[in-house]
Amino acid sequence: MSTEPFKNVRLLPQTNQLLGLYTIIRDKNTTRPNFIFYADRIIRLLVEEGLNYLPVEPCVVETDTNEKFEGCSFLGKICGVSIVRAGESMEQGLRDCCRSVRIGKILIQRDEETAQPKLFFEKLPTDIANRYVFLLDPMLATGGSAIMATDVLIKRGVKPERIFFLNLICSKEGVDRYHAAFPDVTIVTGAIDEGLDENRYLKPGLGDFGDRYYCL
Ligand code: URA
């Protein structure tokens, strides 16, 4: 699928392998252990892709054959921020790629009185303004929570162009709404779904990601 109409969306290459992984996690008959295993594989791909956008500097090392190798090394510090609860499923994938990475958390829930998303809790690295941030949430549906979470990051001094929002599936309207608020944040995703159903679940989607990963 082309991301032509979407600026700042990096869609993973739509290979047969990736399609196969999505077919398994979207299948309602997939067991929880398999859902976790294959979702984790996609998460790993998203993290690896996100790392491609971090700045590097040239670096020369000497190999064991006493030859020079002209490579590069990463510049700048990163951290992860998961949107609780579903986003926490992506933390291990980030740790698997970036040892000892700092990971903050943001909890947003629906306010029962106003029915609007409400920020309940944030715990972020104190120096987050100096870091590149991988914002973690597997499903971008209406964009409400992601927008609120990104707002928290920006109020803490993170520059939008240093934020990479990693998700497994997003909706077109979620992307549009999110990018209307934050055009300079890069969305890294593996699938863009057509829309939302009457319960604001992604279509075709996969149901409730948090329930499938943690509960059932
Ligand atoms: N969150 C989910 O878990 N699934 C959706 O389809 C939308 C939001």
201 lines ligand 1 (CB under 6 A): yes
Full 3-state SS string of the chain: CCCCCCCCEEECCCCHHHHHHHHHHHCCCCCHHHHHHHHHHHHHHHHHHHHCCCCEEEEEEECCCCCEEEEEEECCEEEEEEEECHHHHHHHHHHHHCCCCEEEEEEEEECCCCCCEEEEEEECCCCHHHEEEEEECCEECCCHHHHHHHHHHHHCCCCHHHEEEEECEEEHHHHHHHHHHCCCCEEEECCEECEECCCCCEECCCCCHHHHHHHC
Active site residue 23: no
Can you give the pLDDT at residue 82?
A: 98
**Ligand 1 atom closest to residue 202's alpha carbon, by position in its atom list:** 6
pLDDT digits (tens, 9 = 90+) for 5-28: 678 999 999 999 999 999 999 999
What pLDDT is recorded for position 4?
56
Mind listing the pLDDT tens digit of every residue in the chain (216 residues)?
A: 555 567 899 999 999 999 999 999 999 999 999 999 999 999 999 999 999 999 999 999 999 999 999 999 999 899 999 999 999 999 999 999 999 999 999 999 977 777 688 999 999 999 999 999 999 999 999 999 999 999 999 999 999 999 999 999 999 999 999 999 999 999 999 999 999 999 899 999 999 999 999 985
Give residue 1's pLDDT.
53
Domains along the chain?
9-215 (3.40.50.2020)
Whether 40 is a known active-site residue: answer no
Clarify whether 110 is annotated catalytic: yes
Q: Burial-class residue 29 by CB neighbours within 10 Å (0-12, 13-18, 19+).
A: exposed
Residue 196: predicted pLDDT: 93
Q: Which residue has tokens 């002209």?
A: 70
Ligand 1 close to Cβ of residue 205 (< 6 A): yes
pLDDT of residue 5: 63
Candidates 23, 110, 151, 176; catalytic one: 110
